Amino acid sequence: MNTKGITLTRHILLEQRAHPSETGDLSTLLAQIGLATKMIARAVSRAGLVDVLGVTGAVNVHGEEVKRLDEYANQTFIHVFGHSGLVCTLVSEEMEKPRHLSENCSQGKYLLFFDPIDGSSNIDVNGTIGTIFSIHHRINGDPHGTEKEWLRPGSEQVAAGYVIYGPSTVFVYTAGNGVYGFTLDPSIGEFLLSHENIRIPARGKTYSINEGNYPAWQPPMRSLMDYLKEKDPETGRPYSLRYVGALVADFHRTLLQGGIFLYPVDTRNPQGKLRLLYEAAPLAFIAEQAGGRAGTGTERILDIRPTGLHQRVPLLIGSPEDVALAEAFCAGRKKRDRERRKQP
C-alpha cells in the first residue's frame, strides 16, 4: 500500500477495520487527541514568548489569557473532549481528582488519562517536551464512574500514545496492533505517517538516567550503572549516556534507537518519580507493542493494579535485552565483572 501522505485520521480509520468491535468511536477519539495536540504544538512554539509577551499568545474559549503551558494544555483537552460524547472521565496530572464530563457519561465509552505537558521544566530552555495519553474502556454504566473504573492495570488499555514537541512534532500511538508515528506538516496542519510499524532494537548502546541521583540509588542500581560503564568491547560496553530530562524525549530516542531508560527508586523518591496511569503504563504499552520491555525492576508495568490515581512507580523501559539485564541486577542475579572476579 502506498503509505505516502497517509494522514493520522486515515491511518486510524484503516486500523479501525482491524478492530470491527470498535464502532469508530475510538478512531474519533484518537483523531480528537490529534486535534488537541496540534493546538498544544502551536502554543508550545510560542511558549518562549511568555516573558516577552507576558502570555503564551494562546486564548481559551472563554477569552481568558493563558499563563502556563501545562494549564493551557490541560484546558485544551477539557475543551476538545468536553462535548465530544466520547469520554466520560478525564484523569490528568494537572488535576487532583478525575474530571467527569457528565454530558458525555450517558454514552461516553472511554476514560482518558493524560499528562498534558511532560517535561515542562524544559520549556524555559527551549528543550523538547511532550504529551502522554492512555485510553481505557468504561467497565460499568454508573453515571460518574468509580475507583474501580479508574484504577485499571495497563494491560487493559485500549490505546496509548504520546506527542513529542521537538524540532518536529511527532504523534506516536498504538491500539494494540503495532506502533505508528506521524510527523506534523505545519504547512497543511496534518500529521503524516512517517514511522510505519516501529520495532525497538533487541539491544541498544545507550542508557538514560539522572546520574546525579547515583548516591541515592539502591546498591544493585549503582552496580548496574558501573557495569554499563565498564570497558568490554565483547559486550558492547561502555554504553553512552543520553538524558534530556523529559520522559517523552528520552523514551522516543530509546524506542527508535534501542537502549534503556531508567527512573528507579531513590532515597528522595521511595516509590519512584514517574506516574503509573498516565506516564509509565502508556509508554509500557507502546514499548511492548514495539517488541520492548517495561518493568519496575521486579514486576511488569502492565500487570500493576493501581492503588491510587497519581501513584508513582519505578520505571525501567526499552530494549528487551537491556531491560532484562537491569532486572537481573535488581534481582541480584547479575553483578559487575569486578565484583564477580572478587567472588571465591
Q: Which residues are near ligand P6P by CB under 6 A?
A: 118-119, 121, 210, 245-247, 250, 273
Minimum CB separation of residue 233 from ligand P6P in Å reads 30
Question: Under a CB-based contact definition with an 8 Å cutoff, are residues 200 and 258 in contact?
Answer: yes
Q: Exposure string (b/e) for 90-122, b if CB count within 10 Å is 16 or more?
A: bbbbbbeebbbbeebbeebbbbbbbbbbbbbeb
Sequence length of the chain is: 344
Of 212 and 233, which CB lies nearer to ligand P6P in the complex structure?
212
Residue 151, C-beta contacts closer than 8 angstroms, at least 6 positions apart = 305, 306, 307, 308, 309
Of 118 and 190, which CB lies nearer to ligand P6P in the complex structure?
118
Minimum CB separation of residue 242 from ligand P6P in Å reads 12
Minimum CB separation of residue 210 from ligand P6P in Å reads 3
Cβ count within 10 A of residue 78: 18
Of 118 and 149, which CB lies nearer to ligand P6P in the complex structure?
118
Of 94 and 118, which CB lies nearer to ligand P6P in the complex structure?
118
The β-bridge relationship of strands 312-313 and 190-195 is unpaired
Minimum CB separation of residue 294 from ligand P6P in Å reads 14
Minimum CB separation of residue 264 from ligand P6P in Å reads 11
Of 2 and 126, which CB lies nearer to ligand P6P in the complex structure?
126
What is residue 209's three-state secondary structure?
Answer: coil
- The angle, 0 to 180 degrees and rounded to 10, between the axes of the packed helices 281-289 and 247-257 is 10
Minimum CB separation of residue 26 from ligand P6P in Å reads 27
Of 225 and 246, which CB lies nearer to ligand P6P in the complex structure?
246
Q: Is 331 buried (19+), middle (13-18) or exposed (0-12) by CB count in 10 A?
A: exposed
